[in-house]
Each structure stands twice: as C-alpha cells, then as structure tokens.
Structure 1
Amino acid sequence: MRIDRRRFLGALAATACVGACPGLTFAAGPGPDARRLVVLLLRGGLDGLHAVPAYADPAWQRLRGKFELELPAATRLDGLFALHPALAFSRELYGRGQLLPVLGVAPPYQGRSHFDAQDCLENGGRKPGEHRDGWLNRCAGALAGSEALAIASVTPLIFRGPQPVANWWPGLPREVSPALMQRLAPLYARDPVLAGAYETAMAAAEEGMDPMDVRAGRQSRLPMLMAHAGRVMAEPQGPRLAFVEDTGWDSHGNQANQLQRKLAELDAALKAFHDAAGARWADTAVVVVTEFGRTAAINGTRGTDHGTGSHAFLAGGAVQGGRIAGQWPGLAPADLNEGRDLRAGTDLRALFKGVLASHLGLSEAVLAEQVFPGSAGLAPMEDLLRARPA
C-alpha cells in the first residue's frame, strides 16, 4: 500500500507543528499585545474594479458591462460601490463594521512586472531591490522581536531578515513510499513529542483521511491556510504577526469565471480564519493586498491585463469598517493612469503604516526610520482601526 504524502504530512503538521517545530513556541503578553496582524498577499494582480464594482458609475458600465456581472441590491455598499456577489461573508462583515475596502492603492513601483511589484511591496521601499529584507520582519524587530509566522512554501521576502520567523506549509500531493515510512518510524519514536504525532499521521493516512481537508471542509487551499493561521494565532501564546500568500489572480482571459472562483475562495478564507480565531477575531486585523491592479477596459479574451491601481481590504474585529476608505479617482478617460488603468491615489506603505501605528502602536518615527526607511514624508493613513484598549 502507498501512502499519500500530502495526507501524511498534513496529519503530522496538524498534530505536531505548533508544539514541536523549532521557532513555533510563541509567547504573547496580555492587554494590547494580544492584538494580531495578518497580511494576505494575492499574487498575480487582483482586479479591484471587479471585486468592488463601481456599479453606479457610467464609466464603469461602459468599460465593464460586457462582463455581465449581476449585482443584486444585497451586494451594494452605498450609492456607488458594491461587492462582488462571491464575497457574501465579506458583505456580512461590512454590515458588522468589520470590513473596510480601501480604494486606489498600489506600491510606489508603478510598472507592470509581477516580480518587481511584489518585490517593492514586500521590501517596503520605494523601488524593487531597495532592501534585501522585508518590512514585516523589520516590524517584528520594532515590536521587540514579536513572534511571527509565515504560511508560505518558502519564507517570503516580506518576512526575510534578522528576526526569527516560523514557516509552515502543508505537504505536497505526492505519494510516500511505505519503505520510507518504515525507516522514519524509529527516528520519530525517539522523540517524545513527535512520536505520537507520527502515529496519528500514519493512522490517518492509512485510513485515507486528510485532516487538512477535513478541517477545511475539503475547500481550496487558501481557506485551509487561513484556518490554520486562525487556530495558531488564537492560542494565548500564538504569534502576533502572520503572512499568508495565494496565487492565481492573474486574469488575462475568461476573467469573470476565474474571479468568481477566486473571490469565493478569498471569502471562504476570511470566514475560515474568523471561525478558527474565535474570540481572538476581536483583536485581529487582516490586510488583504495585491501587487497591482488591471486595465480598466476588457481585452479581447474577456480578461484584463496588467495595470497599476487596485483595491485592498481590511477585515477583523479591530477594523473600523462598514464604510469605504481611500481615494476614488474615477474611470473617465482623463482620470485613468496613462489612459488605461485605475489611478492609485494611496501608497500601500501609507496603508501599512496606518495599520501598524493604530493597531500595534508603533510610532511614526519608528515606522519612517526602521520599518519603512526613507518614508518620513509619507503620512500613515488614519481611522483604519478601532481605538487600542487603554
């Protein structure tokens, strides 16, 4: 009999990773230190105009009407904007005041290269390659070495640097040789913590069960990852900072169908985190960002090409939501960047600085000199989060 590698590693990770892996013994204090921050990066370039349609703007109707996107009254946020119908739980959060769309954002880099835009977003500088470490790692240092968790296949640039960061990723869907399992068994048996986890993983794999799929309701990977983040961060000694990444947001063709699926996954991921975090949700801010937006007009393959401005989302019990933030530049030809893209009126660093200042209590001096060096002239966005407890 062959054992599915993902099932085995998933079971092992679910059972033992938090308690046994190096770097995953977390310590968080009471009071304000209980606040948690998650950065969720949607790699590929989310089309913000599709996620938050400006349904009442005549220019949006002219540019996007060919997508035939149905927007029932229940999806509307105000007299101009709506949420994509796939974002049903997000719309519920908006009604609770726990979701805040932030319009017209982008990193300082205004080109259309995925790699350069992601590098700029993650290094926290004014251009790609400006820093070799990441702003979230520098943030951990500014918080006196606050514990951090990267849920990614490798430690991403945003978390690289001198501060220790735990890394977790589910196993790949490949089979594991029974002979290898037999050789590994004595090694795990010598460890008092991992021995039990290994036996549990073996039993689950042999029975054809996948604990990761069970816990996530056999959803896509992103909800599973966010559920794991929620469980770990909900622990009294869980990490204060986390990063999660998702791919597949590059929508050059057949965008309506692609984003129907991807936005539904994002919505399920926010709900999975919300449910797993439990009471910790009240102390949490989830920042959902992407490296750039898309063209305002539809291309010949019913998709959109690389653009500049997009939208971000803040979600969580600590968010001052139920409204729309950011600057709406409009979609008239004269309002578009280079006549083709949504114009970005807000530097993503200002959004990040606003979250770190109001949510985690970092001073403007620390933000400008340590976390985002050279950004003294860039003011943090205000009124994003609820007041910190005294």
Structure 2
Amino acid sequence: MDLTRRALLRGGLTLGCSAAAFPLMTRVTFAAAPGDNRLVVIVLRGALDGLAAVEPYGDRDLAAMRPTLTTAGKKGSVDLDGRFAMHPALSPLAPLWGAGELSFVHAVSTPYRDKRSHFDGQDLLENGGGRADGGMTSGRDGWLNRALGLLPGAKAQTAIAVGRENMLLLDGDNPALSWSPDSDLALTPQALDLYRMISAQDPLFDAAAREAAALDAERDMAGGEAARRVDAASLAALSADMLRGEARIAAFSLGGYDTHRDQDRTIRKPLGQLAEAITTLKAGLGPIWERTAVMCVTEFGRTARENGSRGTDHGTGGLMVYAGGALSGAKVHGDWPGLKPSDLYQDRDLAPTDDLRRHAAWTLRGLFGMEIPALEREVFPGVSMGSESRILA
C-alpha cells in the first residue's frame, strides 16, 4: 500500500486511534517558508467591537451612540494619538505602542454584507473570496494556504495551525501542519503500528512526530493536564516555539467577542487574552520578534449604537490589530468614516472604508515578496491592492 503523509492527513486514516494521538492531525497550524520573516495570523471569533478596543473618543458623536460604554479617560485606558484610546484591558500592549510595534486599522471589512452570520462571516474571512453573499472560492480553501503556493521552497513545516479547531485559513492543496497544545500522545498498539509504517516511508513525518512527543513530555513534567490547558498563552507559546524553528507562518484563533449583553464586563476577558497572546509571542520569539508581524482579524464589527442590554449587535466595519517588530511604527490607520447617523452603514454600523483583504495582501507582499498580480488573482480573487498600506517597515 502506498501510504503517504498527505494521504493520511487528507483521508483521516486512523486505524482505530484517536485524532489526538497525532498532534499533526489536531488543530495548531504552522507553515514553513523561505527567508527570515515570520507571520502570525490570529482570528478573533465572535466579531470584535473595534469601537471599544480602539475607541474613537475624538469623534463628537460617540457619546450619543454609546452613553454607557465609552471608556476613554477611565482608569487604565491608553490615549494613542489624541483621537483614539486603547481599551484598559489592552493596556499591557502600551509598551509596544511606545516602541512602534503596535498598529490598528479601523473601518475595514471583507466583502460580506448584511446577513451578519458568524459562521458565514468567518468562512469568508478565512477563505478570502470576494462574494458579498458569503460564497467561497471553488476550492473552498483558505487564503493563507493559497499563499503558500506562491512561496518557492515552502514545505509542510512552513505553516502551522495551532489549536483544537479546524482552521479553514490553512486548508487546501498546499501542505501545512496542525498541532494542539493539549494533544495526548499516549498511543494505542494500532496507532504505534501506523506510526511505524508512516515514519518508515517519510523521515519528515518521523522527525515532526518525535518533536511533538518531546514537547508533550516537557508539558507533562511541568504539570500534567493543567500544563496542557489550551488558552491564549499556550497557543501563543507553542506558536513561538515553532517559529523559532523551521516554521515561518502560524495561525490560531481566540473567541469570546460576541458581546450582545453587558459589554463593559464581557469584553474585558477576550481583550485581555489578546493582549496576553501578543505579549507571549514577543517574549517567546526573542530577537525574531524584530522580523515578525502579528495580524489579528475578525469576521465583522459591531453596531455603532449600544443596545438595550448595554451591549452591541452584529455590525459591518471592524478593526484589524497589528503587532511586531516588522511594523513601520505605531499608528491608527484607516479612512475614518465618522459616527454621525448619516455616516453609518444602514443607519446602524460603522461604515467600512477599506477591504481587510487588501491589507492582508500587502502584509504577505511585505514579508515574503509575493507578486501583486498573483495576490490579486490567486490569494484574494477580486481584490484590488491599490496603494501600499505602509503598515510594515
């Protein structure tokens, strides 16, 4: 039988063992690419309220839209540029802003419009297609996977998806690895037979599985089940571990951003987790941080007006968060549309003024030198990259 690693990963052949037996079958995603630059993509699931994370306190219409939710001037909020303030839960990132290693892009969106479904919105976000109805590319693959096809010399270790869940972002024809920090590597006899059969034909798989077992043993020695808990810090720490090696791209997701009720309280935890993930990445990457860009994206924004439950509902225009030593400096980017009722999208949402995919495309070009026509045609079909975003140095 001709059994290859790709056939195993695509076909789901397990011979009776659980998927968790092999960390490459679980949900941490990494990719290896030529060059020294690194990219981390963090998907913020649930629709981050960008107006809370980076509050436009300089907009005179904000107070009328959000009489109980404004945080600028409150303890812990961080004034950025006289127009915008960072939420207190993100205050651990203030040193990065001071060092020119943190930026934001306001009023961005994918082409997805009006239905405001988390599932459809996230699919389109990760697929990178250009259809407003949420329809995906014919291959139903991820834009980051398609980008790997533009990297000469890219191999499975170049990109890694980290975490328990499947990430469409790295699904597709190009090889990428998946790994979860809480994978249990205790193998059944059937799994051991499968492992021996695969590794005999593929030294690359053998080396990756051995490294996974070693890392898992280290976590066990550090505290067993508690040490393998999947949280923002563990996802970021594992990503940093891989990026210090052959991997050049890592992707994982963080949830909790669906803040329909009592947003002042409920948004603090997920924002704190985002801050923890970014600071953990910086600490874990060490000198590699200088060549790294972290790009955080969400499926859509939230309503400009707070609702009757002191929360916000599904919206349109959202926020991108960037961090890393590869940035050009600290800045709130974007064409701010304003919060006057007449300026809102459908009289409810922050109006999107730019395509999120355009900035993602420029990020790939800046880090890995991908050609503009290929990015516009193959990675983000239908996007026009336009003028350079200048987020990266």
TM-score, normalised with respect to structure 2: 0.80
Q: What's the counterpart of residue 274 of structure 1? A: 282
Q: Distance in 1 between matches of 2:93 and 2:332?
A: 13
The correspondence for 1:114, drawn from 98, 115, 118, is 118
Matched, 1:288 2:296: yes
1:291-310 superposed Cα distances (whole Å, 9 cap, x missing partner): 00111111111111000001
Q: What's the counterpart of residue 12 of structure 2? A: none
CA contact 2:30–2:161 (8 Å) conserved in 1: no
1:71-220 to 2 correspondence within 5 Å? 71-72=74-75, 75-111=78-114, 112-127=116-131, 128-131=134-137, 132-144=140-152, 146=154, 147-171=158-182, 209-210=224-225, 212=227
The correspondence for 1:232, drawn from 242, 248, 251, is 242
Taking only the aligned residue pairs, the percentage that are identical comes to 37
**CA, structure 1 residues 71+54, in 2 after alignment: closer, same or farther (shift >3 Å)?**
farther
**CA, structure 1 residues 200+271, in 2 after alignment: closer, same or farther (shift >3 Å)?**
closer
Q: What runs of 5+ residues in structure 2 fail to find an aligned partner? A: 1-17, 200-205
**CA, structure 1 residues 201+302, in 2 after alignment: closer, same or farther (shift >3 Å)?**
same
1:238-317 to 2 correspondence within 5 Å? 238-317=246-325
Q: Tell me, what secondary structure is at the counterpart of 1:298?
A: coil
1:80-109 superposed Cα distances (whole Å, 9 cap, x missing partner): 101001112322111111111111011011
Question: Which region of structure 1 is more displaced relative to structure 2, 137-146 or 377-386?
Answer: 377-386
Q: Distance in 2 between matches of 1:280 and 1:199?
A: 23
RMSD value, Cα: 3.4
Q: What's the counterpart of residue 6 of structure 1? A: none
**CA, structure 1 residues 351+26, in 2 after alignment: closer, same or farther (shift >3 Å)?**
closer
Q: Distance in 1 between matches of 2:235 and 2:29?
A: 16
**CA, structure 1 residues 141+342, in 2 after alignment: closer, same or farther (shift >3 Å)?**
same
Q: Tell me, what secondary structure is at the counterpart of 1:87?
A: helix
Q: What's the counterpart of residue 202 of structure 2? A: none
Q: Distance in 2 between matches of 1:221 and 1:261?
A: 12
Offset at residue 53 of structure 1 (A): 0.8
**CA, structure 1 residues 304+381, in 2 after alignment: closer, same or farther (shift >3 Å)?**
farther
CA contact 1:104–1:343 (8 Å) conserved in 2: yes
**CA, structure 1 residues 287+208, in 2 after alignment: closer, same or farther (shift >3 Å)?**
closer
**CA, structure 1 residues 357+66, in 2 after alignment: closer, same or farther (shift >3 Å)?**
same
Offset at residue 207 of structure 1 (A): 8.8
Question: Which region of structure 1 is more displaced relative to structure 2, 284-293 or 125-134?
Answer: 125-134
Q: What's the counterpart of residue 3 of structure 1? A: none
Q: Tell me, what secondary structure is at the counterpart of 2:66?
A: helix
Q: Tell me, what secondary structure is at the counterpart of 1:130?
A: coil
Q: Distance in 2 between matches of 1:316 and 1:274?
A: 8
Matched, 1:365 2:373: yes
1:157-206 superposed Cα distances (whole Å, 9 cap, x missing partner): 2211110110011337x9x9xxx878689879989977898699679759
Offset at residue 58 of structure 1 (A): 2.0
CA contact 2:31–2:250 (8 Å) conserved in 1: no
CA contact 2:29–2:163 (8 Å) conserved in 1: no
**CA, structure 1 residues 119+380, in 2 after alignment: closer, same or farther (shift >3 Å)?**
farther
Q: Tell me, what secondary structure is at the counterpart of 1:71?
A: coil
Q: What's the counterpart of residue 67 of structure 1? A: 69
Counterpart amino acid of 1:54? P
TM-score, normalised with respect to structure 1: 0.81
Counterpart amino acid of 2:242? V
Q: Distance in 1 between matches of 2:30 and 2:63?
A: 52
Q: Distance in 1 between matches of 2:270 and 2:92?
A: 14
Counterpart amino acid of 2:88? P
Q: What runs of 5+ residues in structure 1 fail to find an aligned partner? A: 1-8
Q: Distance in 2 between matches of 1:52 and 1:363?
A: 32
Offset at residue 116 of structure 1 (A): 1.6
Counterpart amino acid of 2:150? A
**CA, structure 1 residues 185+155, in 2 after alignment: closer, same or farther (shift >3 Å)?**
closer
Q: Tell me, what secondary structure is at the counterpart of 2:88?
A: coil
Q: Tell me, what secondary structure is at the counterpart of 2:349?
A: coil
Counterpart amino acid of 2:231? R
The correspondence for 1:320, drawn from 319, 328, 336, is 328
The correspondence for 2:389, drawn from 379, 382, 386, is 382
Q: Distance in 2 between matches of 1:348 and 1:263?
A: 20
Offset at residue 371 of structure 1 (A): 1.3
**CA, structure 1 residues 258+145, in 2 after alignment: closer, same or farther (shift >3 Å)?**
farther
Matched, 1:45 2:75: no
Q: Tell me, what secondary structure is at the counterpart of 1:67?
A: coil
